[in-house]
Structure 1
């Protein structure tokens, strides 16, 4: 099993960050490029991966009280992940995202996984900033 984790400080209230991260209709805006989530009957989703032109059944659960999102594939030997938002001083948030791969065939390797996590966190921060700016303006 391989596990990867990255964190980022986002200059926004944790509720704003969580609401953006948990919005199923806008997940494509911050997920790694080439991944698209289509909502089914909650908590079921379908994840389409452009690179393989493949759909995968998955579960996606969000808990606003805990500021946590969890996901994972339904088939055996897949992967799971979570995203946790925590408030820190001065109205900022820390966002941590974690991936666990139970099948070596799904593990993209440390460099690719960490780069994807960093990029996703950066894109999430951009989406939060755009949302907050739009609400303020």
Structure 2
């Protein structure tokens, strides 16, 4: 298993940040890109992901599931029917008016992201870029 993680301190309260993160219809604002939220079934949301040209998380047209956990300020996701890719984003309270956000991805098996190389580098870069986009969206 290969795991990736990025963290950022934001100048917004945790509840404000989580409201943005938990809106899965806006996940492209901070997520890995090319996500399409289709439906909701109880606390699970179905998400389609298109292909990626620059390496990293290229599942073709994979169907994933996402679960929003408001009581934990956390969103979890993965590929439906496969343990090879999972992730989560956790929003935490920091000092007054601030928060910390950690985004985490795990890859198993023969996926390119599970091994050193360009795909692995792209995953880490995309995590960092996603947190930057989240911060920019909150400032807008």
Q: TM-score range by the shorter chain?
A: 0.7 to 0.9
Tell me if structure 2 keeps the 8 A contact 1:24–1:39: no
Aligned residue pairs, count: 129
Deviation of the 1:102 alpha carbon: 1.3
Distance, in Å, in 2 between the alignment partners of 1:14 and 1:106 is 34
Tell me if structure 2 keeps the 8 A contact 1:79–1:103: no
Distance, in Å, in 2 between the alignment partners of 1:65 and 1:129 is 25
Choose 42-51 or 14-23, whichever is displaced more. 42-51
Choose 36-45 or 97-106, whichever is displaced more. 36-45
Matches within 5 A, 1:50-89: 50-51=51-52, 54-89=60-95
Q: List 4+ stretches of structure 1 deviating above 6 A.
A: none
Choose 19-28 or 109-118, whichever is displaced more. 109-118
Matched, 1:93 2:99: yes
Deviation of the 1:57 alpha carbon: 1.4
C-alpha change, 1:54 and 1:110, in structure 2 (3 Å) is closer
TM-score of the superposition, structure 2-length normalised? 0.82
**Counterpart of 2:32?**
32
TM-score of the superposition, structure 1-length normalised? 0.84
**Counterpart of 2:12?**
12
How big is each residue's C-alpha offset from its partner over 1:61-101, in whole Å with a ceiling of 9 and x where there is no partner?
01111101100011325200010000111311100000000
Distance, in Å, in 1 between the alignment partners of 2:136 and 2:119 is 26
Tell me if structure 2 keeps the 8 A contact 1:80–1:100: yes
Q: Which ranges in structure 2 are unaligned for 5 or more consecutive residues?
A: 53-57
